[in-house]
Structure 1
Amino acid sequence: MSRPARLIAAVALVGVLGACAQLPRHDIVTGPTKAKPLPPPTPASNGSIFQAAYNKPLFEDRRPRQVGDILTVVLNEDLAATKSSGSNASRDGSVGFSPTAVPDVLGDWLGDQTTDLSGSNGFQGSGDANASNTFTGKITVTVMQVLANGNLKVAGEKRIGINQGTEYLLFSGVVNPRMISADSTITSTQVANARLEYYGDGYIAEAQHMGWLQRVLLNISPL
């Protein structure tokens, strides 16, 4: 094999190893995060005050209820879990044998023998595990779909460019419109099937990742 061919093969091998060593990022929030509002129906001129095509009740707050409406989700996630376990077991035993009188047929040999056995076994183990997760903030989402039971499927994203990197915040879930407050806000703890994703890119985020060669060596290391 010629030298240029060997060089190309080496570069290809390095690229393959680098691609295999990359840690894939699995998207938590999938699907679109924005939707256009539905076109309004053609109003029917059936009265000067009451219109049959008007779908907003007169004595009700203007809360999100249609595709394209927006509401604000107050992120207030504070999760903590603690687990502790322990066990203790022990066992002791002893056996003694010291004959004081033996038949003459056995002679003095058995009378001089003594037996003393003892043993013990013990086990003790314990384990602890702690986890804590806190996330606060706000994100405004869009109603993507109105389900058959009236619940709202919402999704939204927020992008913030900082220097040479971008921070991404994505959210999706299902909201009961009755839980939406008058100012069109709802806490994230009241959202069903909530999915929250926060990540960033750029050289600052890249500096926090292990190099591809280190990841390759970590994967093949037997230790």
Structure 2
Amino acid sequence: MTCHRKITLLCIALASLSAGCSTVKVFEESYDPPWPAEAAYTAPTSGAIYASNSDTRLFEDRKAARVGDILTVRLREQTNASKNSQTSTSKATEASLTNPTILGRPITKGGNALFDGALSGDSSFDGAGSSSQSNSLLGDITVTVVQRLPNGNLRIRGEKWVTLNQGREFIRLAGIIRPDDIEPDNSLQSYRIADAQIAYSSKGVLAAANRMGPVARFFNSILHPY
């Protein structure tokens, strides 16, 4: 085997490995639930009914409002997109030249006009394209409040893992919500989450079976010249 052929095979192998590593990245973030900040101890006032450091809420509802509180997010994600385009152009050109005359006589040779002629041309283009995409995700997931922003909004984060026979599926969610959007039953519609990051994926035998191998990914990547 010549040295040139060895270098060629080595380049193909490296390209295949680099294409094989280009998989869809699921946003990674620490999903450990935060521990609520412990209230500073305050000595109870003599004769008082309620202690100031207790979690007694006389004039508040039980909706999530503080770090460590939980709420349920109703996943109602559905998107539909379609696009159609069509282009049609045409152009026609025509030019003619009349044989000139000198002293009233046309310029000819062998009885044929020398400078009499016509030129014409036309071009046209027709193109059309269409694309469509739809996605749907329905379900519920309970998340935790991880931060209370200075303007009162809440940053939430959470995940749910489901173990099946041949693998594990998980849903991850993170974003920012308004306390006013939380419903009386301490739930929230997912379309009310700002900067939402929602991931639904799986790990295991079934997920690996649905994933292209490194050689197939190489021939479907931009590294493949054809």
Q: What TM-score, normalized to structure 1?
A: 0.80
Equivalence for 2:151 = 149
After TM superposition, list the pairs within 5 Å mapping 1:26-45 onto structure 2: 26-45=25-44
- Aligned residue in 1 for 2:10: none
Q: Which has the higher helix share?
A: 1
Distance in structure 2 (CA, Å) of the matches to 1:19 and 1:210: 14
**TM-score calculated relative to the size of structure 2:** 0.79
Deviation at 1:118, TM superposition (A): 1.4
User: How far apart, in 2, do the equivalents of 1:53 and 1:108 lie?
Assistant: 116
Residue of structure 2 aligned with 1:134, choices 129, 133, 136: 136
Alignment of 1:79-118 (within 5 A): 79-99=79-99, 102-103=102-103, 108-109=108-109, 112-113=112-113, 114-118=116-120
Aligned to 2:165: 163
8 Å contact from structure 2 (residues 19, 217) kept in 1: no
List runs of 5+ in structure 2 lacking aligned partners. Answer: 1-12
Structure 1 residues 16 and 173, CA, compared in 2 at 3 Å: closer, same or farther?
same
* 1-structure distance, mates of 2:67, 2:107: 105
Give 2:178's match in structure 1, choosing from 173, 176, 179: 176
- Aligned CA RMSD, in angstroms, stands at 3.0
Structure-2 separation of matches of 1:106 and 1:68: 102
Q: SS state of the match for residue 206, structure 2? A: helix
Kindly state the Cα deviation for residue 33 of structure 1 after the two structures are TM-superposed: 4.0
Q: Which amino acid aligns with 2:33?
A: K
Partner residue in 1 for 2:70 = 70
Question: Relative to structure 2, which stretch is displaced further, 101-110 or 122-131?
Answer: 101-110
Q: Distance in 2 between matches of 1:16 and 1:119?
A: 48
Whole-angstrom distance in 2 between the partners of 1:94 and 1:108 = 24
* Distance in 2 separating the partners of 1:38 and 1:136: 33
Q: Give the structure 1 partner of residue 207 of structure 2.
A: 205
What is the deviation of 1:34?
A: 1.2
Aligned: 1:121 with 2:120: no
- Segment drifting more, 55-64 vs 32-41: 55-64
Cα distance in structure 2, aligned partners of 1:60 and 1:23:
50
Counterpart residue type for residue 123 of structure 1: F
Farther off after superposition, 36-45 or 17-26? 17-26
Work out whether residues 72 and 141 of structure 2, in 8 Å CA contact, stay in contact via their aligned partners in 1.
Answer: yes
| 1:222 pairs with 2:221 | no
Task: Show CA shifts across 1:146-181 (max 9, x none).
Answer: 111111111001010001311111111111111101
Which amino acid in 2 is paired with 1:69? Answer: D
Distance 1:94 1:48, change over 3 A: same
String of CA shifts for 1:26-83, please: whole Å, max 9, x gaps.
2325233411122133245346356555676533311111111000000111111222
Please tell me whether residue 23 in structure 1 is matched to residue 26 in structure 2.
Answer: no
Distance 1:95 1:23, change over 3 A: closer
The aligned amino acid for 2:75 is L
Identical counterparts, % of pairs:
31
Q: Residue 101 and residue 23 in structure 1: after superposition, are their counterparts in 2 closer, same or farther (change >3 A)?
A: closer
Total equivalences in the alignment = 210
Q: Match of 1:4?
A: none
* Pairwise CA distance, 1:134: 1.1
Q: Which amino acid aligns with 1:206?
A: A
- Give the match's secondary structure for 1:59: coil
Identify if the C-alpha distance between structure 1 residues 17 and 82 changes in structure 2 by more than 3 Å, giving closer, same or farther. Answer: closer
Contact 1:100/1:111 (8 A) holds in 2: no
